[in-house]
Structure 1
């Protein structure tokens, strides 16, 4: 369990690192600064704290899920798609400035994380709470992406 958690931590933080490379100067960039952003947009430091917490909780969730679920291939396939979507959003939004495509990516990621919650609830029971920070944050992030699309 501990080794699996560490493995998922490494994989999860690799996603954040790769996404961060593509974000580059995205947040302090002139392009992003000039956008009309939602009034509920959190301060910049919240994003780092939120993603750190999310990835720790998600790694623990995945380690539990891997032990409990019958179809490990399905679990890993869903995890892999989630990983790609998570990494993909940063370059789509911040590097390519494709806000609409970014919204499609983040909506897809949000639905997929909800699938984790509901598909594996019967296997994980209360341990499913570990994926809630991810889902809640994605709902907020999706609303922020939508607001930017609708108001710029």
Structure 2
């Protein structure tokens, strides 16, 4: 592996780590613990474990496509979009306590991930497949987000201003 390849891999890891920091800044905290959640909610320990693995796969996927085709416009614009939406979700849900906005965000994120998979596939099939677990987890997150939102009427900031 060349020095340039190692450097580009570190850049992709750093980029994804920056996105992951949103989850460290906007933590669930006591407010989230008091919410009514469905019985199928993953245990708290699962989130950092799953996200750590997913973030590595996201970085590797980007790095592989970059190594094959360079910084190709549309695929990397969509890659950047899904990362921005990813970072925004924690701010919306935990920071602003707006599961309605967070739900819209995670739906857009899932669509962006699906588009990213489709755009990466012709360039590097392995990179595309590395994003599939991310898409699955985003869909699970969307279902969980929606369920928590609907199970807890009156517990969120947009409703506090009205009621």
TM-based fold match above 0.5: yes
Number of residues paired by the alignment? 148
The alignment status of 1:97 with 2:97, answered yes or no, reads: yes
Larger radius of gyration: 2
What's the TM-score, normalizing by structure 1?
0.89
Question: How has the CA–CA distance of structure 1 residues 70 and 3 changed in structure 2, closer, same or farther, with 3 Å as cutoff?
Answer: closer
**Contact persistence 1:61–1:127 (CA under 8 A):** yes
More helix by share: 1
Structural RMSD (CA):
1.7
Which runs of no fewer than 5 residues in structure 2 stay unpaired?
A: 153-163
Post-superposition CA distance 1:90-134 (Å, at most 9, x none): 111001110110000011111101111122212212442211221
**Contact persistence 2:22–2:91 (CA under 8 A):** no
Aligned mates of 1:21, 1:127 — CA distance in 2: 29
Higher RCO (CA 8 Å, separation ≥ 6 residues): 1
Aligned mates of 2:119, 2:127 — CA distance in 1: 13
Structure 1 residue runs of 4 or more that deviate by more than 4 Å after TM superposition: none
Which residue number in structure 1 is paired with residue 23 of structure 2?
Answer: 19
